[in-house]
Structure 1
Amino acid sequence: MEWSQILVCLFCPSLALHPRKDIVVTASDDHLWKMWAFPNGNIIMTGEGHTDWLSGCCFHPSGTKLVTSSGDTTVRIWDFTKGECILTLEGHSHAVWDCSWHACGDFVASASMDNTSKIWDINSERCRYTMRGHKDSVNSIEFLPFSNTVLTSSADKTLSLWDARTGLCAQTFYGHLHSCNHATFNMKGDTIVSCDSYGVVKFWDVRRVTPMISIDAGPHPGNQVVFDPSGHLVALASNDGTVKTLNVSSGQLSSLAGHEGEVQSVVFDHRAEHLLSGGSDGTVRLWC
């Protein structure tokens, strides 16, 4: 893969891909989110309203709204047609690290430094459940597509699966020896990949609740890990300034160098033709 620099922002801890279009949103330390077209890099829209750094962002399944999470302890819902924040969700007592939208579009999940996650009902504008069980910061959260299952990763070194209908923990995965920074499902929903603060990447069998393989991509922290749409390739955002790619079947690990600082976020486009990465160097890079 080769890269071309396309976007410039202050600091990019999170990227969100539009569900259908070649559009990406960046969440930044400058309290703003920005929407960009790629590969040309044109700015489409900017969102202003958070009072601290942004940590996460996720498109509504229809692509008409956005949810963002922030160090200001709030979760905000943005409507693109109105070009403004239409709802601020308050309830976390510390910074919110991540957010995710349910496939039906009526619920949002958030993960916080206060050791809890929350399920928010957008229609009633209230918190439906507070999910307690992690013993340290909850660093990432994600709905399994088209289901009521929620996946969290935590600084307590575990991953957990939760039932969003009850707010109860269904399964916990043990095996990481260090803070788990991020976890995500493959498209089939039968495999989880996670990364920790020492760069270890682990794959988990969802049905058996067991670890499958472990890859040492450290010693630098892994900040985010994602599957490509086929599930055959994984990309890791690393603190050593590279994007690491892992062939799942062969176990071959490669590095993509180009960022001039820690890589915070990665996402594949829908056709797996491009990989986008955001870093602390203030750039988002497009890998072809």
Structure 2
Amino acid sequence: MANYSYWASGWCQSRQLLTRRESDIATASDDGTVKLWNQQGKQIKSLKINEYNIWDVNFSPDGQIIAAVSSDEGVVRLWNRQGKLLKTLKHSDRIRIHSVSFSPDGKTIATAGQDRTVKLWNRQGQLINTLNHSATVYNVTFSPDGKIIATGSNDGIVKLWNRQGQPFNTINHNAAVYSVSFSPDSQTLASAGADNKVKLWQLNGRAIRSLDGHSAAIWQVTFSPDGQMIATASDDKTVKLWHRDGTLIITLTGHSGEVNGISFSPDGKTLVSGSKDGTAILWNVENLTLDNLIGRGCNWLHDYLANNSQGQSDRYLCDGVKTPNKS
């Protein structure tokens, strides 16, 4: 049996309705399919893209178009939510495209590939511009305000470009960069990669801090919608959640394979992770404050402290700590 990998690519929330609608999740797999799921884990749709590994998939901002890129084809396919192929964009001949991203207004599509370029397209499929690196480009993303494009490459460099594709800053991560992400206010950039680290930067290139704790390469970094948390997915089979100040909040263990992708729900209450173990996991990340985590820890330790503590003082470690009700 094939060991299918899943990349948790993102959430879609309809912006056509005045009332909030359940968010959908898209996963991409090396069986050549993109699958759509609801938050309860029920499969809504399966799109058979081709016979190749799907490397990335993304929703347009209005949730009506799905962009998928695969290995060794050099093309991007645009589908509607009903599974109809709308358009094919040819990035290059038979090369691996690693990343596809929509601009916040949905008018521009960016693709990043093994040919050391990022290409910008309009929704009609016309090539607008080509941005160059000196090595494979693993990730491309737009800032939430739509003014900046960030690219991360195997050359260890993060480049910042304006919307017209003109470079205005270069940041040296000092290791292959697999993922770049902007904070919701577009003022902070995170880069992650082969050195097992996440580095936070001001847009002028000044280093803010480094998040250290993973034991293997980090394939994705993303900010929570409120900008207060940062999530990272790693080859060490874990997902970590961090405060903006670099403090580790929690390590999520549950996957048996490398974790390729993560994405927050629009309300920030749920995180989805996708892994090479062939699964996507939904995590409840609401109320992950330090007090809440201490309370949960004391809840778990209650019986042990009461009956197995070696010293009398241990019994009182959780005195005064508010614990959540046991379900």
Report TM bin, short chain. 0.7 to 0.9
Tell whether 2:180 aligns with 1:141. yes
Task: Indicate if the aligned counterparts of 1:198 and 1:219 stay in contact, CA closer than 8 A.
Answer: no
Matches within 5 A, 1:57-68: 57-68=100-111
The match for 1:156 is 195
Counting only pairs closer than 5 Å after superposition, residues 2-81 of structure 1 correspond to structure 2 as: 2-9=42-49, 10-29=52-71, 30-38=73-81, 40-51=82-93, 52-81=95-124
- CA distance in 1 between counterparts of 2:105 and 2:58 reads 13
Alignment of structure 1 residues 115-264 onto 2, 5 Å: 115-123=156-164, 125-132=165-172, 134-164=173-203, 166-206=204-244, 208-249=245-286
Task: Read off the aligned partner of 2:261 and give its amino acid letter.
Answer: Q
How far residue 245 of structure 1 moved from its aligned partner, in angstroms, is: 1.6
Shift of 1:6: 2.6
**TM-score, normalization by structure 1:** 0.80
**CA drift at 1:142:** 1.3
What letter matches 1:238 in structure 2? S
In 2, Cα distance between the equivalents of 1:107 and 1:179?
26
Q: Which has the higher helix share?
A: 2
**Equivalent AA in structure 1 for residue 195 of structure 2:** D
Which has the larger strand fraction? 1
Query: What CA distance in whole angstroms lies between the structure 2 residues aligned with 1:99 and 1:93?
Result: 15
Three-state SS of the structure 2 residue aligned to 1:13 is: strand
Residues matched between the structures, number? 244
Larger Rg: 2
Query: Which whole-Å CA distance do the structure 1 matches of 2:66 and 2:266 have between them?
Result: 17
With normalisation by structure 2, the TM-score equals 0.71
Relative contact order: is structure 1 or structure 2 higher (C-alpha 8 Å, sep ≥ 6)?
1
Q: Is the 8 A contact 1:131 1:169 kept in 2?
A: no
Query: What is the aligned partner in structure 2 of residue 113 from structure 1?
Result: 154
What percent identity do the matched residue pairs reach? 25
Identify if the C-alpha distance between structure 1 residues 136 and 7 changes in structure 2 by more than 3 Å, giving closer, same or farther: same
Q: How big is the alpha-carbon RMSD for the aligned residues of Structure 1 and Structure 2?
A: 1.7
Contact 1:163-1:169 within 8 A present in 2 as well: yes
Moved over 3 A (4+): none
AA aligned opposite 2:47 = L
Q: Give, in whole Å, the separation in 2 of the partners of 1:11 and 1:77.
A: 23
1:225-277 per-residue CA deviation (whole Å, 9 max, x = no partner) reads: 111112221111100111122122599xxxxxxxxxxxxxxxxxxxxxxxxxx
- Give the alignment of 1:84-123 within 5 angstroms: 84-90=126-132, 92-123=133-164
